[in-house]
Amino acid sequence: MDKQYIYDYLDNFIANNEPKDEIEESISVRDLSSGRNLYNEIKNSQETSYDIFGSNAMGYTCFALYKSKEQKIYLIIVKLQTPVCYIKVENENIFD
């Protein structure tokens, strides 16, 4: 699938849905560590990116970070390959 299609899809999802105040899903310690590492990797990059850093329920729910062209970073919760909610990430403390 074309990366630009994914970025456009996520931009549309974010524009049409309100962010959550907190994560309602359980993220394992291992996946939190992976998320923190990915966040540190992408926060200083100028590139738009979307990367999955963890999952649970045998892949039913995935956790991803999306860095938009506006340089904002979002934690996206995906269920069955469909984004269901997001949180705007202000700093890596979200992974504690």
List, for residues 1-49, the tens digit of each pLDDT value. Answer: 689 999 999 999 999 999 998 888 889 999 999 999 999 999 999 999 9
DSSP string covering 35-70: HHHHHHHHTT--S-EEEEEEEEGGGTEEEEEEE-TT
Residue 49 contacts by C-beta under 8 Å, 6 or more apart in sequence? 42, 65, 66, 67
Q: Give residue 90's pLDDT.
A: 87
16: phi then psi, degrees, rounded to nearest 5: -105, 5
The answer, as to whether pTM is greater than 0.75, is yes
Name the residue ranges covered by the structural domains of the chain: 3-95
Cα–Cα–Cα angle for 3, 37, 11, rounded to 5 degrees:
30
Q: Give residue 56's pLDDT.
A: 87
